Amino acid sequence: MPSHMQMPEEPMVPARGRPQARRPERTGVPVWVFIVTLVFCLAAGGLAGYFFPKGEEIAYLQGKVAITDEELDSIVGSYLVDGKPHEITARQALEATASLESQRNEDGSYPMPSAETVLNVARNQLLQRAVADEGIEVSEEQIEAYRQQVFGSEDVATLAANYSMTEDQFHQMLAEGAAVEQLYEKVTGAGAKVGGEASVPELPPLPAEGEQDTPTSEYGAYIVGLLGENWDTTTDTWANHDNPYYDAMADDVFSIEGATYDQAMEAYYVAYEVGSEANAEGLEAWDAYMTELLASAQVTIAEMVQ
């Protein structure tokens, strides 16, 4: 009897509302988000398809905890889309998380890919098919920008080594992540990135000691940058009053040439609220898209000995 599991459908929605009045701490990006090519961070949405422990029409590699070099191209899973099967090999499953060399056991064997890993490969391939269907392509410049955005480093060799990947694997991971980010933006139209964080602005730089109340052009430019079309840079005043920034800062006196740190933080709080709401709306749209995309997928995973 096949076993049926439905993935959780509760979206991970970023917190709404104004943040506490303190400088938020910056945190690192979870490793697992990128090991699975960012895709199944799945900012929201679950896979409502079915999962079978093994298949009857395809010869699956099963009943093992370790496999040999000769078995790397054996099938460990497959998924069915529109009646057409797509096979997943042990090699593909293992290389989805790290290089083969880093996973080789002392006796020359490799660990049998886990069901979770095989499922992630199936999910990733399904989403990359959606990327292709949307005609999304990423340039080397976009991949480099994505790497900087996520990792803040240009040292590809070190980054790849940190994740036990080859440089080619790491580059492919970045390319797929950048493509999914574009798909997310296209689906949501919210200007947010996968994971729901990019709409939140960068914090203003901390002032020098004793200079918190001193207006500077740096903070003035920061505020005007957040205000965007709501600020008329030619007259250096409000372009309109119908926006949340004006509601919060109408009584503040500042210009592009001078604003205080506290004023910059006030603008940041407004931008944080606006961005969080956009992210939440984007996650809801992404959830609906992913549910529709994956609901009919049937994934078959080989059994392994525990």
Residue 248 identity: A
Is 47 exposed, middle or buried, given 0-12, 13-18 or 19+ CB atoms closer than 10 A?
buried
- Residue 129's CB is within 10 A of a number of other CB atoms, namely 13
Domain residue extents for the chain: 31-199+286-301, 217-278
How far apart (Å, rounded) are the C-alpha atoms in residues 208 and 56? 69
Q: What is the pLDDT of residue 247?
A: 95
CA 284 to chain centre: 15
The per-residue pLDDT for 58 is 60
Q: Are 169 and 99 in contact (CB under 8 A)?
A: yes
What pLDDT is attached to residue 150? Answer: 83
Q: Rounded to whole angstroms, how far apart are CA atoms 97 and 77? A: 16
Q: What are phi and psi of 12, to 5 degrees?
A: -90, 95
Tell me, what's the pLDDT at 24? 37
Q: What is the pTM of this model?
A: 0.61
Q: How far, in Å, CA of 280 to CA of 154, rounded?
A: 31
User: What is the rounded distance in angstroms from the CA atom of residue 255 to the CA atom of residue 252?
Assistant: 10
Positions in the chain short of pLDDT 50? 1-53, 192, 194-198, 306
- Structure token pair of residue 32: 């697992």
- With residue 301 as reference, give the H or E element that holds it: strand 298-301
**pLDDT (0 to 100) of residue 191:** 55
Q: Partners of 9 in the beta sheet?
A: none
What pairs with residue 237 in β-bridges?
Answer: 232
Sequence-distant (6+) residues with CB within 8 A of 263 are: 219, 223, 249, 252, 254
DSSP 232: E
